[in-house]
Amino acid sequence: MQIVISPYPTLHQVSTPVNFFMPPVGNDWSQFEKDYLHLMVAGHGLGMAANQIGITQRFFGIGHESFDEFKKPVILYNPRVTKTSEEVEIDREGCLSFPGVWYNVYRPVEVEVEWQNMKGEMQGTKLKGYEGRCFQHELDHLNGITFDYKAEENNQ
């Protein structure tokens, strides 16, 4: 498992739903999650999408101690946004597939989201601030959209 750097084909592919019959890598789902999140945290990522390690399935890791909901890194499967605030704000984003690159991106301030856990159980919450931004950045990845497409201004 390793992080791919842009340009790379899977970064621009639309990912397909996770089916839960078998883990995306190997045959031990807990071990897969451990390895995946270890890679994300080792890279100092607040999030990491599956296509950033070359897998075009709909899941990503997210987590940081400063977050309200995902204080510890977790993997969210088949995530989606069900509602967005009209209010948007601009902030600086980085990406594990764009080392040393930062872009200012406008995003809705609040999002209501849903996802499934490893067992396929539905979960949901409301996210705001940088945590909501992170979720939206990762969800874009699953739709083949990297943050440079949305950049207002290049801060590198």
What's the Rg (C-alpha) of the chain? Answer: 15
- The residue type of 47 is G
* Cβ-proximal residue to Zn ion, closest one: 95
Catalytic residue chosen out of the listed positions 110, 138, 152, 153: 138
Our answer to whether residue 152 is catalytic in this structure is: no
Q: Is the peptide bond before 7 cis (omega within 30 degrees of 0)?
A: yes
Nearer to Zn ion, 1 or 22 (CB): 1
Write the interaction track for Zn ion spanning residues 29-58; mark x where CB under 5 A is met and - where it is not. ------------------------------
Q: Interface with Zn ion includes 95 (CB under 5 A)?
A: yes
- Residue 105: burial class (beta carbons within 10 Å; 0-12, 13-18, 19+): buried
Closer Cβ to Zn ion, 3 or 18, answer by number: 3
DSSP SS3 for 74: strand
Q: Which residues are catalytic?
A: 138
